[in-house]
Chains A and B, each alone.
Chain A
Amino acid sequence: MNVRFVVNGEEREAEGAPLERLLDVLREQLALTGTKEGCGEGECGACTVLLDGEPALSCLVPLAQCAGRDVRTVEGVAALPAGRRIVERLVAAGGVQCGACTPGIVVTAFALFERDPAPTRQALADALAGNLCRCTGYEGIFRALTDDAEQPTVSPARPGAPAVGEAE
């Protein structure tokens, strides 16, 4: 079937079987590879996109359901000022390591911030409960997006020892 929909603000067309996954349509037909596949069954959140403004797992969305709808991928989210701010905060605070989960986290956080621009740690944890990250332990993500996270400290192993110099 042929489907017309809006992707990142532009009218697009895709061709495929009705049950073709939106994830594959985005990655293969529209070359939007920022949306990642982590599990293919709606558990990891790496493929999260906005469908009419709400987070959706594109591995579970068939193409047939996309006709006439508005899809925004991480590429489209990061192009918006609010999305870009989320990206920059994640990078600065150590919320990005391997990056495979990060696009899904950016999209999910963007949707949360539209409703709640200053989420508590618990509200962010609830929103991100479906976005698995294996690298950061999530602490860097909490640090980036809330004001309630642990800040790592650096101190001398032997108190009173001289401060560490720069390169010799």
Chain B
Amino acid sequence: MTGIGTSPPRPDGFAKASGAAVYADDLVRPGMWFGATVRSPHAHARLDGVRFAAERAPEGAVCLTAADLPGPNGILLIDDEWPILAAGTVRHVGEPVALVAAPSRLGALQAAAAVEAEYTPLPAVLTLEEAAAQATAQPTTQTTAHATPPATARPLLAECSLACGDVEAALAAATAVVEGTWSTGHQEHIYIECNAATAWVEDDGTVVVHGSMQCPYYVHKALVHALGAAPERVRVQASVVGGGFGGKEDFPSVIGVHAALLARAAGRPVRLAYDRHEDIVGTTKRHPAVVRHRTAVAADGTLLALDIDVTFDGGAYRTLSPVVLSRAVLHAFGPYRCPNVRIHGRVLATHTAPNSAFRGFGAPQTQFAMERQMDAVARRLGLDPLEVRRRNVVRPGDRLPTGQVLGESTAAEACLERAAARTGFQERWRALEREREGRADDSADGAPRRGIGLSLYFHGAGFTGSGERRMQSPVGARLLADGRVEVLTATTDMGQGCVAVFPQIAAAAGSLADDDVTFAPPDTARVPDSGPTVASRTTMIVGGTIARAVAGLSRRVVDWWQGEHGAGWQLADGTLRHPGGDAVPFRQAAREFLAAGGEGALEVRHRPPDWQEFDDATHQGSAYPVYAWGCDVVEVEVDPDTWAVRPTAVTAVCEVGRALHPTLCAGQIEGGTLQAVGWALTEEVKLDGGRYLNDRLATYIIPTARDAPRVSVELLEQPYEGGPFGAKGIGELPMDGGAPAVCQAVENATGIAVTAIPATPERLFAWAEGDRRREEVA
């Protein structure tokens, strides 16, 4: 069984599990050299000079600095302010200042050690608090002629706002106004395969980059810009990708440009592969955030006004921060009705590695805050977590603060009720509250404190706002000489499983057999720019376009066949059948169609729904055509002596439109949920003076098989008419739900109002001892 709604084995699974799959770091090119990157040890410094002591490097080794760049010194994303190599100033520890290449890995390290860079350290802005203080002092000031330059010339990297109704009037009139400040930390992607790329120059001058990436055409665009090359002289090939999570959305443009520059300078193929320390120090992370809420509520818990201030730490460069902030603001109000809403968001610069895309793209931070705020509202009013959500959850026909009227595909309530019923949430939460309240303060029995927590969340699928309308991403389909259909997209499989789901969609949409369809590798010389592999858009947007392309091509063949052989033929499962009893394989009909001069190639573009309009300036309109919905219930045990939190079970109920491949769909929920639990409890990027204290897997702690709770997933279906066979995008959804549910469970177990994550034992201990100011649990 391989049809829609079944779970055939992923076609790349055997090669991956048996070691045969070729990842970026596995590709060997004849005569290949190895690259290395020389990085700043300073968070902020004037770069006074870079000298290459060639006599201490292997013979022939090459070294490149900003002075050697052939074109603009910028990685082109939204803009090109992210330098390829630092020039004049370094703005974070680990910023690249020079590149070297040598015939061996060891030689490359020797060459890197032969680079002497001179710095004059400057004052650095290292935390969001410092950045916020500076931004207040000099709102949007550009640099001026100071004897000592300001710590950063441009504290404000991005800003956006959203408003509806009259927030001030509602705050003034409300029964209660609840205030809360909620903070989240950095998160490192920890894809198991570090960033890597290999570049070479073909005889005709074409620069080829083969690497681990989510977005081949982003890398292509950055290469064209940096090299000043003609687009057709740049070719980007995605390897098998060993995990991405957003960490291979923009960064491959950096390492790809670096590898290409080295390959051109060395005159031979060069592989640039990071080890784990370098990957943690030098690449992007999730934005740390501080979100302040003022919430006006009626006595029965009805939300009357939300006043939300969102501040993100952007790190040293803008990267994708403006769009991350947009998505953050557009999810900051949670899946709740509220007539009066005001949200202001800012991304501030610090002298730390740039923060950028990470699964959820800003929404996990603001939904963490909203969910914790809902818990604070419930405590104030004496409601339980389920009740306060029931009173405010959005339903079909409700209006979001953006003005978007929600359609039939609004299933937050179904997720909430199903998750609560499955887990007996309300009774369990109340019983554990009573148990905690009845426990003596000095109870030293050492028994684990048990707690249960619930979160409700949503995630918009596809690019934010007008993004998909601007791109109208194309997908290609063409008949091969043997009559099979080849589908062409630039989507990469970073593990999520489009290698299995796309063929399901193509075969079903084209009424073809599985082996009638084949997919071109994501290689910019072969496939059109079907857009980046991001934003929960792969199945819903690219998959939907594949369905239209393959259906269109197969219809073309069937129409021609009927013109030749009379009407009445039906195509099913790759065979044309006539009621008279004749049967012809699709491939044979397709070959004859081609032989007769039929046009065997088709390109189809994604069309967003006509009604989806959005004003990017005011953030009013339908930011996303549809949302996926979810509710998590998490159970924890807290050790009263060590304050270690052990999550024991998670139930995740997610509405996904249609689960095209239930095993892979649930796999996204299972894996994303554990990533969220890790973010909530153990994953902490520790910096001292801008230097990483834990740039290794021994000290940056992600959950192991022993730490992982049971994750029980229920997929709810309510087919969405805009997605292929009803599917919505769901890849990022689970990242939104885990952390606030964990924290509510810890609160249920201990009485501690967790205001910041990760909720490490050190933090819980400090809160328990009252060493930190925190909102009192009412």
**Does B associate with A?**
yes
- Which of A91, A92, A97, A138 contacts B708, CB < 8 Å? A138
A-B contact pairs, 6 of them (CB 8 A): A41-B697, A98-B495, A106-B17, A124-B705, A137-B673, A158-B718
| A137 touching B411 in the complex, CB below 8 Å, given contacts A33-B19, A97-B667, A154-B715 | no
Q: Which residues in B have their C-beta under 8 angstroms from that of A135?
A: 243, 495, 667, 671
CA distance A88 to B664 in the complex (A): 15
User: Does B191 lie at the interface of the complex (its beta carbon under 8 Å from any beta carbon of A)?
Assistant: yes
Q: Which of B474-501 contact A (CB under 8 A)?
A: 494-497
A41-B697, A125-B705 given; 9 more Cβ-contact pairs under 8 Å: A34-B18, A36-B23, A94-B666, A97-B497, A134-B190, A139-B710, A166-B4, A167-B4, A167-B511
Q: 1/0 contact trace for B671-714 toward A, CB 8 Å? A: 11111000000000000000000001110001111101011111
CA distance A41 to B414 in the complex (A): 46
Closest to A150 in B: B712
User: Does B103 lie at the interface of the complex (its beta carbon under 8 Å from any beta carbon of A)?
Assistant: no
- Which of B3, B18, B511, B714 contacts A78, CB < 8 Å? B18
A134:B191 contact, CB within 8 angstroms: yes
B14:A91 contact, CB within 8 angstroms: yes
A155:B714 contact, CB within 8 angstroms: yes
Q: Which residues in B have their C-beta under 8 angstroms from that of A40?
A: 275-276
Give the most central of A90, A130, A135: most B CB within 10 Å.
A135
| Distance from A88 Cβ to chain B, minimum over Cβ atoms (Å) | 7
| A155 touching B705 in the complex, CB below 8 Å, given contacts A32-B19, A43-B698, A78-B18 | no
User: Does B509 lie at the interface of the complex (its beta carbon under 8 Å from any beta carbon of A)?
Assistant: yes
User: Does B16 lie at the interface of the complex (its beta carbon under 8 Å from any beta carbon of A)?
Assistant: yes
| A103 touching B658 in the complex, CB below 8 Å, given contacts A97-B497, A136-B670 | no
| A154 touching B662 in the complex, CB below 8 Å, given contacts A41-B697, A43-B698, A137-B670 | yes
User: Does A117 lie at the interface of the complex (its beta carbon under 8 Å from any beta carbon of B)?
Assistant: no
A132:B702 contact, CB within 8 angstroms: yes
Q: Which of B628-672 contact A (CB under 8 A)?
A: 655, 658-659, 662-667, 669-672
B276:A155 contact, CB within 8 angstroms: no
User: Does B241 lie at the interface of the complex (its beta carbon under 8 Å from any beta carbon of A)?
Assistant: yes
CA distance A33 to B105 in the complex (A): 16
Q: 1/0 contact trace for A17-32 toward B, CB 8 Å? A: 0000000100100011
Q: Which residues of A contact B (CB under 8 A)?
A: 24, 27, 31-41, 43-44, 46, 73-75, 78, 84, 87-88, 90-94, 96-103, 106, 124-126, 128-142, 149-150, 152-158, 161, 164, 166-167
User: Does B10 lie at the interface of the complex (its beta carbon under 8 Å from any beta carbon of A)?
Assistant: yes
| A100 touching B193 in the complex, CB below 8 Å, given contacts A38-B276, A41-B698 | yes
Q: Which residues in B have their C-beta under 8 angstroms from that of A38?
A: 192-194, 276, 697
| Distance from B415 Cβ to chain A, minimum over Cβ atoms (Å) | 8
Closest to A131 in B: B705
| A39 touching B696 in the complex, CB below 8 Å, given contacts A98-B193, A100-B191, A166-B4 | yes
| A98 touching B243 in the complex, CB below 8 Å, given contacts A44-B192, A155-B717, A158-B718 | yes
B696:A87 contact, CB within 8 angstroms: no
Ranked 8 nearest A-B pairs via Cβ? A34-B19, A99-B16, A98-B495, A100-B242, A91-B13, A152-B666, A97-B495, A78-B18
A134:B276 contact, CB within 8 angstroms: no
B718:A156 contact, CB within 8 angstroms: yes
Closest to A96 in B: B13
A44:B697 contact, CB within 8 angstroms: yes
| A97 touching B714 in the complex, CB below 8 Å, given contacts A39-B697, A91-B14, A166-B3 | no
User: Does B523 lie at the interface of the complex (its beta carbon under 8 Å from any beta carbon of A)?
Assistant: no
CA distance A25 to B545 in the complex (A): 45
CA distance A156 to B244 in the complex (A): 31
CA distance A106 to B497 in the complex (A): 20
| Distance from B417 Cβ to chain A, minimum over Cβ atoms (Å) | 10
Q: 1/0 contact trace for B163-203 toward A, CB 8 Å? A: 00000000000000000000000000111111000000000
| A153 touching B708 in the complex, CB below 8 Å, given contacts A39-B276, A94-B667 | no
Q: Which residues in A have their C-beta under 8 angstroms from that of B276?
A: 38-41, 44
User: Does B463 lie at the interface of the complex (its beta carbon under 8 Å from any beta carbon of A)?
Assistant: no
Q: Which residues in B have their C-beta under 8 angstroms from that of A132?
A: 190, 192, 697, 702, 704
Q: Which residues in B have their C-beta under 8 angstroms from that of A125?
A: 705-706, 708
| A75 touching B242 in the complex, CB below 8 Å, given contacts A134-B190, A138-B674, A161-B718 | no
Q: Which residues in B have their C-beta under 8 angstroms from that of A33?
A: 19, 22-23, 25-26
- Which of B18, B245, B719 contacts A106, CB < 8 Å? B18
- Which of A46, A154, A166 contacts B508, CB < 8 Å? A166
| Distance from B656 Cβ to chain A, minimum over Cβ atoms (Å) | 9
Q: Which residues in A have their C-beta under 8 angstroms from that of B662?
A: 152, 154
- Which of A101, A124, A150 contacts B711, CB < 8 Å? A150
CA distance A37 to B667 in the complex (A): 24
B671:A37 contact, CB within 8 angstroms: no
Q: Which residues in A have their C-beta under 8 angstroms from that of B674?
A: 137-138
Q: Which residues in B have their C-beta under 8 angstroms from that of A106?
A: 17-18
Interface of A is mostly: loop
Total interface residues in chain B, CB < 8 Å: 82
CA distance A152 to B674 in the complex (A): 15
Q: Which residues in A have their C-beta under 8 angstroms from that of B194?
A: 37-38
Closest to B713 in A: A152
A158:B697 contact, CB within 8 angstroms: no
Q: Which residues in B have their C-beta under 8 angstroms from that of A136?
A: 667, 670-671
Give the most central of A38, A88, A126: most B CB within 10 Å.
A38
| Distance from B281 Cβ to chain A, minimum over Cβ atoms (Å) | 14
| A99 touching B697 in the complex, CB below 8 Å, given contacts A78-B17, A152-B663 | no
User: Does B433 lie at the interface of the complex (its beta carbon under 8 Å from any beta carbon of A)?
Assistant: no
Closest to B711 in A: A139
Closest to A108 in B: B705
Closest to B734 in A: A137
A129:B9 contact, CB within 8 angstroms: no
User: Does B617 lie at the interface of the complex (its beta carbon under 8 Å from any beta carbon of A)?
Assistant: no
CA distance A135 to B655 in the complex (A): 20
Q: Which residues in A have their C-beta under 8 angstroms from that of B240?
A: 99
| Distance from A89 Cβ to chain B, minimum over Cβ atoms (Å) | 10
| A99 touching B12 in the complex, CB below 8 Å, given contacts A74-B19, A94-B664, A137-B708 | yes
| Distance from B705 Cβ to chain A, minimum over Cβ atoms (Å) | 4
Q: Which residues in B have their C-beta under 8 angstroms from that of A46?
A: 192
| A128 touching B193 in the complex, CB below 8 Å, given contacts A39-B276, A91-B9, A100-B243 | no
Q: Which of B257-275 contact A (CB under 8 A)?
A: 275
CA distance A167 to B718 in the complex (A): 15
Give the most central of A46, A131, A137, A164: most B CB within 10 Å.
A137
Closest to A103 in B: B19
CA distance A11 to B555 in the complex (A): 57
| A157 touching B706 in the complex, CB below 8 Å, given contacts A37-B25, A40-B275, A152-B662 | no
Closest to A75 in B: B19
CA distance A94 to B670 in the complex (A): 10
B713:A157 contact, CB within 8 angstroms: no
| Distance from A90 Cβ to chain B, minimum over Cβ atoms (Å) | 5
User: Does B160 lie at the interface of the complex (its beta carbon under 8 Å from any beta carbon of A)?
Assistant: no
User: Does B5 lie at the interface of the complex (its beta carbon under 8 Å from any beta carbon of A)?
Assistant: yes
CA distance A129 to B707 in the complex (A): 8
A156:B717 contact, CB within 8 angstroms: yes
Closest to B193 in A: A100
Give the most central of A124, A139, A149: most B CB within 10 Å.
A139
A101:B26 contact, CB within 8 angstroms: no
User: Does B20 lie at the interface of the complex (its beta carbon under 8 Å from any beta carbon of A)?
Assistant: yes
User: Does B725 lie at the interface of the complex (its beta carbon under 8 Å from any beta carbon of A)?
Assistant: yes
| A87 touching B658 in the complex, CB below 8 Å, given contacts A97-B496, A138-B674, A138-B705 | no
Give the most central of B9, B10, B671: most A CB within 10 Å.
B671
Q: Which of B711-739 contact A (CB under 8 A)?
A: 711-719, 725-726
User: Does B50 lie at the interface of the complex (its beta carbon under 8 Å from any beta carbon of A)?
Assistant: no
CA distance A157 to B606 in the complex (A): 27
User: Does B604 lie at the interface of the complex (its beta carbon under 8 Å from any beta carbon of A)?
Assistant: no
| Distance from B212 Cβ to chain A, minimum over Cβ atoms (Å) | 9
CA distance A101 to B659 in the complex (A): 26
CA distance A67 to B666 in the complex (A): 45
